[in-house]
Homo-oligomer: A and B are copies of this chain.
Amino acid sequence: MPSATKPRAVRGGIDLGGTKIEAAIVDARNNVLGQARRPTPTEGGPEDVVAQMIGAVREAAGAAHLDTHELIGIGVGSPGVIDPVSGSVSTARNLPGWEGHYPMAAALSKELKAPVYVGNDVQVATDAEFKQGAGKPYKSVLGVFWGTGVGGGLVLNGRDWIGRGGAGEIGHVVVKVGGARCPCGRRGCMEAYAGRAAMEARARKRAKKGTKTDLFKIMEQRGRTRLTSAVWEQALHRGDKLAMQLIDDAVTALGAGVASAVNLLDVEAVIIGGGLGVRLGEPFVERIGSAMGPHLFHDAEPPKMHLAALGDLGGALGAALLVPRRRTPS
């Protein structure tokens, strides 16, 4: 007889982001039993990052009154290029000192005494929205994570689509041949207009050239060194012209890029998440939907547009979904 609530059905999930590490402990029904958050180290190397991940999982497990060895497994949503079989991670450009392949699963597993499964951060966040969040009513969804960059995740007919391992790069869909330089080095990518890093670079350039803006004043008032999502939000509220214009350009690019993906895939629903997406919320989901309109080939049947429902915890919840369910012995 299945007994889904036995302690051994409890799993861990870690969302490894460029700025923070989010850990969650969930039961078989994906109820959150404990959670913890730590900053991602900005110096050092993989070992330092992994040490913070271990700390976060131990803290979250402690909150759930468990030891990590009691978990049936721990999933990790990681940036970079992932080898799902070995659990190693390479080319994680947003993480400090991450050169070559690092055996992340092995390093975590050794300390935490539980099997570790590594997947793509954006894909696991899409999975979480698909299974537990805004995507629940659908069989095919496109997740668009609008933050520092713009990441994409795909669920097609109920299953992840990762291609040869590198699918979902919606941020690098071309929206303007010969257009702006993207942080990735290419030209005309959607992320070159819509990614927060690209937007900040443009804002700095424009401010330097004399365009008036409160963006950097707000940044300093908030004690930040970067234009965070909250800084953009506040600047928009104040009616800052440069902020409004750059956000308009971002929405235009997102409209074109997401519409291109929909023309190609005809998914039932698009879910907008990520730091900026979640911060700016529903009104911007609508604005992106409107910007898609003129480019949608089947414009009488646009996909449903949703805001990510799981917020900041989606990545960790999705990571926990990487852990295979143990079969109950009959």
Indicate whether A43 reaches chain B with its CB closer than 8 angstroms: no
Indicate whether A186 reaches chain B with its CB closer than 8 angstroms: yes
Give the complex CA separation of A252 and B253 in angstroms. Answer: 20
Q: How would residues 165 to 196 of chain A score, 1 for a CB under 8 Å from any chain B CB and 0 otherwise?
A: 11111101111110100001011110000000
Q: Is the CB of A263 within 8 A of B294?
A: no
Q: How far is the CB of A271 from chain B (nearest CB, A)?
A: 15
Given contacts A165-B266, A176-B177, contact A186 B261 (CB under 8 A): no
Q: Is the CB of B267 within 8 A of A163?
A: yes
Complex interface: chain B residues within 8 A of A295 (CB)? 172, 174, 186, 188-189
Q: Is the CB of B256 within 8 A of A188?
A: yes
Q: Is the CB of A177 within 8 A of B174?
A: no
Q: Is the CB of B164 within 8 A of A260?
A: no
Given contacts A176-B177, A256-B188, contact A166 B266 (CB under 8 A): yes
Q: How far is the CB of A269 from chain B (nearest CB, A)?
A: 10
Q: Is the CB of A166 within 8 A of B264?
A: no
Q: Is the CB of A263 within 8 A of B173?
A: yes
Residues of A within 8 A of B (CB): 140, 152, 154, 156-157, 161-170, 172-177, 179, 184, 186-189, 252-253, 256-257, 259-261, 263-268, 294-295, 297-298, 301
Given pairs A163-B265, A166-B298, A176-B176, 12 additional interface contacts (CB within 8 A)? A156-B156, A163-B267, A165-B266, A166-B266, A167-B266, A169-B298, A172-B260, A172-B263, A173-B260, A174-B295, A187-B294, A260-B260
